[in-house]
Amino acid sequence: MKSVEELLDIASKCVRCGTCKSFCPSYEILRREGGGPRGRVTLAETSLKEAGMGGTPFGPAFQKYVKDCTLCGSCHSNCPNDVDVPALILAARTGYIAKQGLSPFASLAIKNLLGSERLRPLSMKIASKLQGLIFKGSTVEHALVSRFSIPLIGGGRLVPNLPERFFMESKTAKARKSGPEQGAAKPKVSFFVGCGVNYFLPDIGEATVRVLERSGATVSIPKAQSCCGMPALSAGDQKTAREHALKNLEVFEKEDCDYIVTSCATCGHALKDVFKDLLCDSGEEDSEMAKRVDAFVAKVRDITELIAPEGDIPVKDIEDNERPLITQDGSKVTYHDPCHLRRYQGIAEEPRILLESSGLELVGMKHPCKCCGLGGGLAFSNYELSIEIARIKAEGVRGSGADIVATACPGCIIQLKDALHRYGVDAMVVHVVELL
Amino acid sequence: MLRDSLKPITTSVQKELQGLLARENLSFLREDILCYSYDATNKIVPPEAVAFPETPEEISAILKLANLRGFPVVARGAGTGFTGGSLPVGGGLILSTERMKKIIEIDTDNLTAEVEPGVITGDLQAAVEKHGLFYPPDPTSFKFSTIGGNIAECAGGPRAVKYGVTRDYVLGLEVVLPTGEIIKTGGKTLKGVVGYDLTRLIVGSEGTLGVVTKAQLKLIAQPETRKMMLVKFAKLEDAARTVTGIIRRCIVPSTLELIDNASLRCVEEFTHMGLGGVEAVLLIEVDGRSESVEKDVLDIEGICKENASTEFRAATDKFEVRDLWKVRRSISPALKRLKSLKLNEDVVVPRSKLVELITGVEQISKERGVIIASFGHAGDGNIHVNIMVDKDDEEDCAKGLQAVEDVFKLTVSLGGTISGEHGVGTTKMPYINMELGAATIEAMKRIKEALDPRGILNPGKIFPAG
């Protein structure tokens, strides 16, 4: 983890010019200094100076200001002095969690549901059975709308229907739970599924396996894999996040694979960038753990990166008669850049090139790389703000005239579906890989 | 001027303030105090309270209370000023205009726009562009600074060389005077000479004479086309000479920016444009009708060559233009990479004196032994002279301050002004008598005295004590 000194060093690079405010999706709506990056940097810096990571001198207003951030990173990537604002915000969140603990609902969700290997599938199963009590059907396929305002969810919100069978329990996953075939000349790919795909959007998992195998890879889906830890980290619970990182490292080290692939931009960012930070203290670059993480990270690819024409396993063209139904009618598709893919992993061209090869017409949308508003836990901590941020995306899609919005992150898909439904835009939302 | 008679915001005054504003629009929390304690000078000066009024009436009530109880009030737009104009140096209340963000009207018959002060300048520009109209003032901060702040500081930008500065686009204002009266100045008409020109008095008064609550702005037609050029030079002096050459030939570019090597090196780490090794660069943009733009580009290329340019490139697409602007707009904050403290000056000289200013500043840098990065709106004679020092090194800071004084002396001796667009605020306060005579300062103080007898509105700015 970054030390307090390193974090203060990051903060000291800020000259308070204010450039970041013009890129911040939450400041645009909140219009209050604490609701923007420059204010948050100032607050985090002061908090770290006075209480380190073990607490904070501030009260609920501080918590609200640092929570109302989607961690989209556009402040950082547009900062002339390279101030890593998200790192400071995560530290600030850790500070207040150390002071007062997670809220009861966040704790239940992060520690018990996503945090526990046994409880997670079980509780999701129960949720799947009971979802009809608090959600009602909607006009959107595989989606429900909350009947009344409930903690962490809000009211009138479109959420994906929890499937009868999670992806990890599907035939596809069960048939591939052992390590990849030994000795075969084919590239061996282990699939990091992630909670979004497993519990909410299993079709993306099916598509990922289908496209990889068609393109000549063998795929394994290790059963013991865990959550990537980002929900816990975003909430300020570094301890739980670290446990997930370690667990996943151990599971995938056992896989004799060439690549570790994910179809979730957030998981990809966690695996590529965050694990190292969580598992190794700074100044320990040469430690045994650092070497293990480096070896792991070297194998990680986003699905669009792996199967792009210039990638390691270029996607094989599909026979026209095998093409997924939605790509057969000459519809228009537009692309939304997930923050965790574009800004954190630098992947922007690959998904677009893949879409152009899908047989659909790719059209541009306004503000393709603006945050959808879901990230950083905002969709649960402040749904009202989160869905207001998403308005610009909905309007962008409307203006593009596209029938399909493709992206590369289950989180963005869930949010965009809700936003299009709420703001009355008629377009479907899918993962790029579902169109290939 | 800071008066001894100014009073803190006591618990009882807090209660009175609470009676004037909605709960969520007033804060005494330490979190908000901290967030409204700085501007782009990067100095921290905490206020005692922060208010987010939504109407002129609320501002009027606050100012009346301030006069009654004697606490200072400082209006603040986006907090992106370079001279401490919005820093509450006397304590008191920060009055943030962030909630007053309506574009009230874009009048396409009269080519005017009426806006509230908290509108972000870039948002207004985008909104009028949809109607084929143009609001030219473009301070480097236009994407995040507000119209109210721009008016208070009379902000200018690269386009000033052709289109002028904020004051040239303000037709009328609604202002709350320091004593709480709401007045209107000017209007929607292009002409108007009834009484004193209070509009011009308020523009650039740095928030010391009133709080702007509405502005009537002049718009013009969007130019038909624009062309951006990047020209490299082996010597800074050659670049400066080119600027004078272009002006002498009566070509008026919409942008004529000069950037020196120290500045180029700083932005290179962020923009990766391969300009780090270049000694000096001119960024030139011409706009207007296609035919005249084509001709201007040819003429400018000729003048550059006459002045020993080493490379001339016209941008081919909008992405290249965007990248070039990114280079220019990133310089100021990126200078932090040179040294921890930036003494940021924005001197202006008559354009014929530009070469003398540039060579003189280079001389000062050598003599004083401090790093000076120069860049800016050379086309209007306005150069940002940034004296870079290590804030923890006393000797370095002292040398820097001497260099500042040298630069100002040089500027005034060339018939220039010590601030073209940033204002005086607190940072240039000690130097105003280098430019203004005692009687001039006295006349200004009398105006302040007449409008703000108790000295509660943005005290401690412009005029040094005593």
Q: Quick one: B200 and B292 in the same domain? A: no
**Alpha-carbon gap: A33 to the closest alpha carbon of chain B (Å):** 6
How much is the pLDDT for A137?
76
Taking only the tens place, the pLDDT of each residue in B337-395 is 889 889 989 999 999 999 999 999 999 999 999 999 999 999 999 999 999 999 899 99
How much is the pLDDT for B138?
95
How much is the pLDDT for A53?
87
Question: Taking Cα atoms as reference points, which of B353, B224, B200 lies closest to residue B287?
Answer: B224
Sorting pLDDT into bands at 50, 70 and 90, what band is A359? confident
Residue A312 touches partner B, C-beta closer than 8 Å: no
Q: Which residues of B touch A37 (CB under 8 A)?
A: none
Sorting pLDDT into bands at 50, 70 and 90, what band is B139? very high
Has residue B315 been placed in a domain? yes
Residue A129 touches partner B, C-beta closer than 8 Å: no
Which of B331, B348, B368 is a domain's end point? Answer: B331
Sorting pLDDT into bands at 50, 70 and 90, what band is A320? low
Residue A46 touches partner B, C-beta closer than 8 Å: yes
Taking only the tens place, the pLDDT of each residue in A377-412 is 999 889 999 999 999 999 999 999 999 999 999 999
Q: Which residues of B touch A62 (CB under 8 A)?
A: 31
Q: Quick one: B377 and B357 in the same domain? A: yes
Q: Which of A19, A43, A45, A50 to mutate to test the interface with B (most CBs of B within 10 A)?
A: A19
Which of B282, B315, B331 is a domain's end point? Answer: B331
Give the architecture-level CATH label for domain A167-307: 3-Layer(aba) Sandwich (3.40)
Of A54-58, B98-102, B414-418, minimum mean pLDDT range? A54-58
Provide CATH code, domain A320-435.
Answer: 3.40.50.1860
Residues of the domain holding B392: 338-424
pTM tops 0.90 = yes
How much is the pLDDT for B306?
96
Q: Do A61 and B31 touch (CB under 8 A)?
A: yes
Sorting pLDDT into bands at 50, 70 and 90, what band is A220? very high
Sorting pLDDT into bands at 50, 70 and 90, what band is A88? very high
How much is the pLDDT for B435?
95
Taking only the tens place, the pLDDT of each residue in B50-88 is 999 999 999 999 999 999 999 999 999 999 999 999 999
- What CATH number does residue B381 fall under? 3.30.70.2740
Sorting pLDDT into bands at 50, 70 and 90, what band is A291? very high
Has residue B184 been placed in a domain? yes
A vs B: CB pairs below 8 A: 90
Which of B201, B221, B241 is a domain's end point? Answer: B221
Question: Considering only alpha carbons, which residue of chain B is nearest residue A12?
Answer: B340
ipTM (interface pTM): 0.93
Question: Considering only alpha carbons, which residue of chain A is nearest residue B35?
Answer: A39
How much is the pLDDT for A56?
92
Residue A17 touches partner B, C-beta closer than 8 Å: yes
How much is the pLDDT for B465?
81
Sorting pLDDT into bands at 50, 70 and 90, what band is A106? confident
Which one is predicted more confidently, A156 or B426?
B426
Taking only the tens place, the pLDDT of each residue in B102-137 is 999 999 999 999 999 999 999 999 999 999 999 999
How much is the pLDDT for A115?
64
Q: Quick one: B138 and B206 in the same domain? A: yes
Q: Quick one: B253 and B303 in the same domain? A: yes
Give the mean model confidence (pLDDT) for residues A228-242: 91
Percent of chain A with pLDDT over 90: 68
How much is the pLDDT for A103?
75
**What is the rounded average pLDDT for all residues in chain A?**
89
Has residue B38 been placed in a domain? no
Taking only the tens place, the pLDDT of each residue in B298-334 is 999 999 999 999 999 999 888 888 888 888 888 888 8
Q: Do B31 and A80 touch (CB under 8 A)?
A: no
Overall domain count for chain B: 3
Q: Quick one: B356 and B261 in the same domain? A: no
Question: Considering only alpha carbons, which residue of chain B is nearest residue A15?
Answer: B42
How much is the pLDDT for A113?
66
How much is the pLDDT for A182?
60
How much is the pLDDT for B88?
97
Q: Do B42 and A61 touch (CB under 8 A)?
A: no
Residue A61 touches partner B, C-beta closer than 8 Å: yes
Residue A278 touches partner B, C-beta closer than 8 Å: no
Domain layout of chain A by residue ranges: 4-100, 104-160, 167-307, 320-435
Provide the CB-side half-sphere exposure for A102 (13 A, CA): 22
Asked whether the domain spanning A320-435 has the same topology as the one spanning A4-100, the reply is: no
**Alpha-carbon gap: A378 to the closest alpha carbon of chain B (Å):** 20
Q: Which residues of A touch B343 (CB under 8 A)?
A: none
**Alpha-carbon gap: B291 to the closest alpha carbon of chain A (Å):** 32
Has residue B15 been placed in a domain? no
Sorting pLDDT into bands at 50, 70 and 90, what band is B17? very high
Q: Which residue type does A194 have?
A: G
Provide CATH code, domain A4-100.
Answer: 1.10.1060.10
Secondary structure in 3-state letters for chain B: CCCCCCCCCCHHHHHHHHCCCCHHHEECCHHHHHHCCCCCCCCCCCCCEEECCCCHHHHHHHHHHHHHHCCCEEEECCCCCCCCCCCCCCCCEEEECCCCCCEEEEECCCCEEEECCCCEHHHHHHHHHCCCEECCCCCCCCCCCEHHHHHHHCCCCCCHHHHCCHHHHEEEEEEECCCCCEEEEECCCCCCCCCCCHHHHHCCCCCCCCEEEEEEEECEECCCEEEEEEEEECCHHHHHHHHHHHHHCCCCCCEEEEEEHHHHHHHHHHHCCCCCCCCEEEEEEEEECHHHHHHHHHHHHHHHHHCCEEEEEECCCHHHHHHHHHHHHHHHHHHHHCCCEEEEEEEECCHHHHHHHHHHHHHHHHHHCCEEEEEECHHHCEEEEEEEECCCCHHHHHHHHHHHHHHHHHHHHCCCECECCCCCCCCCHHHHHHHCCHHHHHHHHHHHHHHCCCCCECCCCCCCCC
